[in-house]
Amino acid sequence: MICVETQHFNLNRFLLLAIGLWPYQRSKFSQLQATLCFGILTSFVVFQLTALITTKCTVDFIIKVFSTALVFNFYVIIYSMFWINTHHVRNLLEQLHCICNNLKDENELAIFKKYENNIRRCTVIFTSFAICCVFIFTLLPIWPQILGTILYINESQLQSHTIQIVTEYFVDQEKYYYLILLHTDAVFCIGATTLTAIGTMLLGCAIHACGIFKLASYRMEQIMTTEMIKNINLKNRAMIYNKKIFYAVEIHCKVIKFINALVSNFEGSFLLLIMFGVICLSLNIFAIFRNASLGNKEAFVLHFLYVLVIFLYMLAANYAGQEILNYSAHIYFIAYNVRWYNAPLHVQKMILLILQRGSKTFSLNIAGLFAISLECFAMLTKASMSYFTVIYTMQQ
């Protein structure tokens, strides 16, 4: 028996356990851990927004605050989205578990194994990228201090150069500088782990959906094999036809049900993420140009990493949606190209049902507004650049 939860999502399990969101074995400690992580993420957003209370609000200052606050709010939305829907995630994993354990054919198991390896490869790549980003984020505040040991810059000058994120803790920020820095680094680590763990978990579900679509295509191809046509026993041939067409339709229905459950459980959160993603991209692209003109290298690198992370997150999500769209369309072409005319009449009618179902485009539709695909990614990127152009023009 194959355990999807531990074999296919082993690294994802480790990352989710680190932030208290693994959907199995929900102990009191994991609930306390999740509450603590969520509190740290939320408090950092609050301490950024409180700066609007104590500081004179200009358009430039508001953009500076929201360009970072919305990025960390991005973490909060993703974390709370997964935390609230933990039981739904467990149900999705159980569906995959049932589908996987019903596979008996060696070729089908090999197909499933291939997509399992793809999940692990993607998780390792995104985890490595997250580690690099956290390393850079952590290094940025102490980099001037490293240079200060060589250039003999005093501590007050160093601290004035290292604070790139506007916050208001209602305390002396120079006196409690290292505590504030510790809070900031903790948020970066938890946020990066959240993005990586949840993002790769959902991406893994999408890759599994593509693998199940591939299994449905494989079973469709096996309906009209050469051995089937050469079988002279008409009664046995009809029985095998019925059995194979049933297996193909069954797994196709299961993957449709799985994807619909995935989208419906996270639909509201996905919509919020799309909205915040477009706004974050616009504001941080503006911040990149702003800090480049002012010569603020540390802030430039910080906002560049924000844009890079959000851009890659949106690209990965929309690319996964495009792959699901392509794999679902492939079943239609397979059903159309098999030698259905050699099958009995009742089997031809069943294949016709699959053709009618496949003629309708199947996609990950979010609230009837966005169909997750590369076209959607291009549209969102274009919208972000348009908003950036408006902001940049207004500030000139």
Could you list the pLDDT tens digit for every one of the 396 residues in the chain?
A: 455 555 668 888 899 999 989 888 778 888 899 999 999 999 999 999 998 888 887 888 888 888 889 889 989 999 999 999 888 888 888 888 888 887 777 888 888 888 888 888 999 999 999 999 888 888 776 666 665 555 544 544 444 445 568 888 888 877 888 888 889 889 989 999 999 999 999 999 899 988 888 888 888 777 766 455 455 455 555 555 666 777 777 787 888 888 888 888 888 888 888 988 899 999 999 989 888 888 887 788 888 988 998 999 899 999 998 998 888 888 777 767 766 666 666 666 666 766 666 556 677 788 778 888 898 999 999 999 999 998 888 876
Amino acid identity of residue 371, one-letter, is A
pTM equals 0.85
What pLDDT score does 161 carry? 45
What pLDDT score does 224 carry? 61
What pLDDT score does 326 carry? 87
Tokens of 51: 């700066």
Smallest Cα–Cα separation from 156: which of 183, 177, 182, 180?
Answer: 177
What pLDDT score does 10 carry? 82
Tokens of 227: 């051995």
31 Cβ contact list (under 8 Å, min separation 6): 20
Q: Give me the residues paired with residue 365 across strands.
A: 371
Question: Within 10 A of 39 (CB to CB), how many other CB atoms are there?
Answer: 10
Angle subtended by helix axes 234-294 and 374-395, to nearest 10: 10
- What residue segments make up the domains of the chain, in order of their start? 4-395
What pLDDT score does 111 carry? 85
What pLDDT score does 135 carry? 86
Tens-digit pLDDT profile for residues 14-33: 999 999 898 887 788 888 99
C-alpha pair distances (Å), 340 with each of 218, 223, 292, 327, 352: 15, 9, 63, 21, 9
CA quadruple 94, 96, 97, 100: dihedral, nearest 10 = 160
Question: Within 10 A of 283 (CB to CB), how many other CB atoms are there?
Answer: 27
d(CA 372, CA 384): 17
